[in-house]
Every structure is written in structure tokens, then in C-alpha cells.
Amino acid sequence: SAVISQKPSRDICQRGTSLTIQCQVDSQVTMMFWYRQQPGQSLTLIATANQGSEATYESGFVIDKFPISRPNLTFSTLTVSNMSPEDSSIYLCSVRGQIGATNEKLFFGSGTQLSVL
């Protein structure tokens, strides 16, 4: 499976500021996703990060709030903009479809624990 490095691992931020989370994979992958896991909840898909084009957002998530970049097949960023305490959550990068592999399994990075004061 791919090795997925995500940083920062945790951060405490002030209301109104923005935080950019980075996700680096050790091999090229076809698909990268960003999930959110709020306290005591399951995973909710925020968006699919598309290489070289705008991300595809799920219902309830918008680009102005969660801008995403994916400049190549191994790297993506998620920005949480104009944060409020409701954005306190774990944000998870996930990847699927390693180039040259035949599986469609989804693997997760270690996550970013975000607390907004």
C-alpha cells in the first residue's frame, strides 16, 4: 500500500484564520480524496482532488471554504478557510488506485486534528 504523509498532524487555530493541510504520497495515485471526521462521527467526504483541474465537491462543501489543490499525482492540499469552532474536526487525506496496481482499495493518511478557538 502507498505511504501517505499528512501534515500538520494537529493544530490549534484562531477563529477567522485559515489552515492549509498537505498530503504527500510516496507513489503516483489516480485518485485523492479529502474526508472530515467530526468528534464521535463517521467519515464524510469533502471532495475529490483532481489533478490539474478544480476539485469535485460533495453536497454541503464549497470551494471558497475548502479550496483544494492537486498539482501532480502525488501531492494535494486542503485549506480550511475563515475557520470557526464548527470546523474543529479531524481531516483525512486518502488515496486510491496506485499507478501500476490493480486494486481499488482506499488508504488513509494519519490525519490532521484541528481545533478552532
Partner 1 sequence: QKEVEQNSGPLSVPEGAIASLNCTYSDRVSQSFFWYRQYSGKSPELIMSIYSNGDKEDGRFTAQLNKASQYVSLLIRDSQPSDSATYLCAVNTNGNKLVFGAGTILRVKS
| Residues binding partner 1 (CB under 8 A) | 1, 31, 33, 41-45, 48, 90, 92, 96, 104-111
Nearby residues of 48 by Cβ (< 8 Å), 6 or more positions away: 31, 32, 33, 55, 56
Nearest approach in angstroms of CB 41 to partner 1 is 7
Nearest approach in angstroms of CB 40 to partner 1 is 9
What distance lies between CA 88 and its chain's CA centroid? 14
**Residues 47, 57 contacting (CB under 8 angstroms):** yes
The nearer residue to partner 1, 17 or 56, going by C-beta atoms, is 56
The nearer residue to partner 1, 10 or 15, going by C-beta atoms, is 10
Nearest approach in angstroms of CB 42 to partner 1 is 5
